[in-house]
Amino acid sequence: MPKRENISMSVIRRLPRYYRFLYHLKEKGVVRILSTELSQKLGLTASQIRQDLNCFGGFGQQGYGYIVSQLCDEIGRILGLSNGYKTILLGAGNLGRAMANHMAFGADGFQLIGVFDNSPEKIGTKIGDLTVLDTAGLETFCKEQSPFMAALCVPRTAAERLGNLLYSYGIRNFWNFSHYDISLQHPDTIVENVHLNDSLMTLCYRISNNPNQKRTDVTSVK
């Protein structure tokens, strides 16, 4: 139920940040928050925050502010965090293990139901409650469990193969850490790319061209 249709990516990428902060406040028992307070704590303008929130509806009370728990819940609902989309993870290396643990809490809208690898050393090992399975069993698993999202924590070449394989098994949503870009091959997919190398190189540029550079999130393109 968005108030307006075209919500821009810039707005969407700020929502998780709002959510995180509000959740934190909620836990601390804070009842009420003002857009100006939020702006100070997050390093944004109050205007932007009010405008962002009003893309989805008027969650505040004029003359009073926002009720923390209510606003937090609303943003969580907008993000769809309670959906718990069934997810599989490919690649049980260090990165894969780290991301599996990240998702284990299920707080971000995804429920991890399987981890796969093709290295004999890793198959059979435990990640949280889950046992790492052989990639050979992927097709069967997908047919039985119908996972909805796949996290790709494998090198580029493997990602190319696996991405297309998973697509053929019906998966259309990806969290992608590799440099292979699935969405260029399959335009009907939703792919969230995380390019850690790019992030490092950007940092390198900012350091190298130092004069008094300010902070910028991946989110807040300045």
Partner DNA sequence: TTTCAAATGTTAAGAGATTGACAATCTTAA
Partner DNA sequence: TTAAGATTGTCAATCTCTTAACATTTGAAA
* Interface contacts to DNA, rule CB under 7 A: 3, 8-11, 33-36, 44-48, 50-51, 53-54, 58-66, 220-222
- In this structure, what are the phi and psi dihedrals at residue 32, rounded to the nearest 5 degrees? -120, 145
Picked from its own copies, DNA, none, the partner binding residue 65 (CB below 5 to 8 A depending on kind) is DNA
The packing angle between helices 156-168 and 138-145, to 10°, is 40
Per-residue HEC secondary structure of 150-170 comes to EEECCCHHHHHHHHHHHHHCC
Place of tokens 């943003």: 75
Spell out the long-range contacts of 158-165 with Cβ–Cβ below 8 A and sequence spacing 24 or more.
Answer: 158/90, 158/91, 162/90, 162/135, 165/138, 165/139
Picked from DNA, its own copies, none, the partner binding residue 159 (CB below 5 to 8 A depending on kind) is none
- The verdict on 180 binding its own copies (CB under 8 A) reads no
Q: Which is nearer to DNA, 28 or 214 (CB)?
A: 214
Q: Which is nearer to DNA, 33 or 100 (CB)?
A: 33
Dist CA 90 CA 100 (whole Å)? 10
Of residues 88, 148, 155, 164, which one binds its own copies by CB under 8 A? 148
- The verdict on 108 binding its own copies (CB under 8 A) reads yes
Contact 71, 22 (CB under 8 A): yes
Q: Scanning residues 122 to 141, which ones bind its own copies (CB under 8 A)?
A: none
Picked from its own copies, DNA, none, the partner binding residue 79 (CB below 5 to 8 A depending on kind) is its own copies
Binding to its own copies by CB under 8 A, coded x per residue (else -) over 35-64, reads ------x-x---------------------
- The verdict on 206 binding its own copies (CB under 8 A) reads yes
Beta carbon of residue 220, minimum distance to DNA (angstroms, whole number): 6
Q: Is the dihedral of CA 114, 118, 124, 125 positive or negative?
A: negative
